[in-house]
Structure 1
């Protein structure tokens, strides 16, 4: 059974990162930069992190999985939404195996109509998610785009965050999808292993500039502390596992994990502008293992397995279109068992926070097919 997880934010000290690349695939794990703030340190045992990049792999499926293909008659996906209507179902071609690439799902939800029996079907609207801690100027209209119900992120020229002028992208936190408007369909705080996935479409000709953040899972000892692991802020009570896009569409897993767990700075790589967490920022892992390709839908899923406090047995895995491309083991996500999964850190913006990271033009990114599962 393939197990996936979202990776490790390594920490401000020294952890041993081992890259187990296959002979036919080039791979790197590097640590990078975000924004500035203060850093706390705690004492913890050293963690050995093994990163395996996989160019191609075969995905196992369970008997409960099925593939559903739907046809679409919408206009071409050129970066302009077909309409701003926020009603109706998703269409387009989507595979359950791409959204739920790991068998053994106990429960979950999906806004795609290609889900599995264990996952509740949800319609994507403005009220699908229990939104909190949203950036004040964040904009996330639900539109019909390329045959799918999607959230549109407008990356305004000159923007580096959703909360400053000019604003671009969006930022909010959510425990997940809801059917009644009050409580999430599944309680991720009870999960030891889980997945979160979505489809993403960078418009044709998208200019990635220096890069930016993409949605991922997050957690912590409570809701407020859980939302602090970003922007250069490290806290032993929280963790986050966002994805990133870099120059020319290079992709990576971008992690914040508890400070104080030793890390070997020499294993961070020598790529330009890549820094270990001693700079105060998050960890770039597996950069360039895959690329974001403008002009087409791509489905990304992250599998995350929490570690047992006191043990470095956490895992993170990334799937692209149903195939495992990055697998990380030996992660210390938490030193406190109360630092459970809290939901999804829904963010997209260009940054860093300085102007050299800014979106060089008005351009759009669309998100669809959001799906979550609990494995155990």
Structure 2
């Protein structure tokens, strides 16, 4: 039974048949190719950390479902009453970028395909309001890879950013910023059950493909895979899993138009919003994030 649990956790955090190398902050994930890393900013290569919010390392509350192998350390996100996106008057959640421990980050510079994942839990009485963002994966050309979100239009061909998002009533989706090409728009907006192109912002991909009610008082695993396109080809791929189940998948994409376009790591950001007071958290709420994992497939 113990071995089955280990294999299950591996398939949730790294849902791939094979990988070259990986790291994880999970103390329960044991594999010859996985290097254990402490849940620590410096050791994870965290940078561009938001100065308006905190992500304190805490012992998370016990899972209400009493599942085994629950994390014993987590980053705690606090969303004060009235908090909104990072530019709002009341900051909430937290935000940073990370590319993994040094050896992994070095190999990531030449990687064509990678998976990044984490486990998350929301407080039991979480209120969804209209929606909010959860961590994901990002990349691009040098420093242009950063700040790809928030309605950015300039040099969008040199960055990409894929984050999970919750909507009202716990509907889940992938919120995607990719180079602004008609091919990308056509492919992403064709993903079921519903995908919407938001003027001047990203594309809501696969809205309703998963339900985040299961994260209320319970650990849920979110994983993302990106396979970069070959230059001058629309053959890139993205995929998203929830608890080891593939919920969103799309191919025929372009993530880059030059060889310096790279997979950079994780955009580890979470907040309520959207824009406008109708998106704000109605009370102080908390979420926990742990078992941060990265794997290079090729």
| Shorter-chain TM-score tier | 0.7 to 0.9
Change (3 A) 1:306 1:142: same
How far 1:189 sits from its partner (Å)?
A: 2.2
Distance 1:152 1:344 in 2: 17
**Aligned Cα RMSD in Å?**
2.5
Change (3 A) 1:111 1:265: closer
Q: Does 1:103 align with 2:17?
A: yes
Stretches of structure 1 that go unaligned for 5 or more consecutive residues are: 1-65, 70-92
Are the equivalent residues in 1 in contact too, given 2:94–2:270 (CA < 8 A)? yes
What SS is found at the alignment partner of 2:109? helix
Number of the residue aligned with 2:68: none
Tell me how many residue pairs correspond in the alignment: 280
Greater strand content: 2
Q: Does 1:230 align with 2:154?
A: no
Question: Residue 201 of structure 1: which of 115, 121, 125 is its match?
Answer: 121
Number of the residue aligned with 1:366: 288
What SS is found at the alignment partner of 1:148? coil
Distance 1:131 1:299 in 2: 21
Q: Does 1:332 align with 2:254?
A: yes
Change (3 A) 1:159 1:122: same
Number of the residue aligned with 1:61: none
TM-score, normalization by structure 1: 0.69
What SS is found at the alignment partner of 1:190? coil
Question: Residue 121 of structure 1: which of 29, 32, 36 is its match?
Answer: 36
What SS is found at the alignment partner of 2:207? coil
Residues 297-334 of structure 1: per-residue CA shift (max 9 Å, x gap)? 11111111111121111111111112222221111112
Q: Does 1:248 align with 2:248?
A: no
Number of the residue aligned with 2:138: 218
Distance 2:146 2:293 in 1: 21
Question: Residue 205 of structure 2: which of 276, 285, 288 is its match?
Answer: 285
How far 1:192 sits from its partner (Å)?
A: 0.6
Change (3 A) 1:334 1:154: same
Distance 1:94 1:268 in 2: 31
Distance 2:240 2:284 in 1: 29
1:141-180 matched pairs, under 5 angstroms: 141-145=56-60, 146=62, 147-176=71-100, 178=101
Q: Does 1:343 align with 2:256?
A: no
Q: Moved runs in structure 1, 4+ residues, more than 4 A?
A: 66-69, 264-269
What SS is found at the alignment partner of 1:129? coil
How far 1:353 sits from its partner (Å)?
A: 2.8
Number of the residue aligned with 1:9: none
Distance 1:163 1:201 in 2: 25
Change (3 A) 1:267 1:109: closer
Change (3 A) 1:309 1:158: same
Are the equivalent residues in 2 in contact too, given 1:138–1:163 (CA < 8 A)? no
Q: Does 1:137 align with 2:52?
A: yes
What SS is found at the alignment partner of 2:144? helix
Change (3 A) 1:163 1:148: farther
TM-score, normalization by structure 2: 0.86
Which is worse superposed, 145-154 or 358-367? 145-154
Are the equivalent residues in 1 in contact too, given 2:135–2:164 (CA < 8 A)? yes
Greater helix content: 2
How far 1:67 sits from its partner (Å)?
A: 4.7
Distance 2:14 2:190 in 1: 31
Q: Based on CA coordinates, which of the two structures has the bigger radius of gyration?
A: 1
How far 1:355 sits from its partner (Å)?
A: 1.5
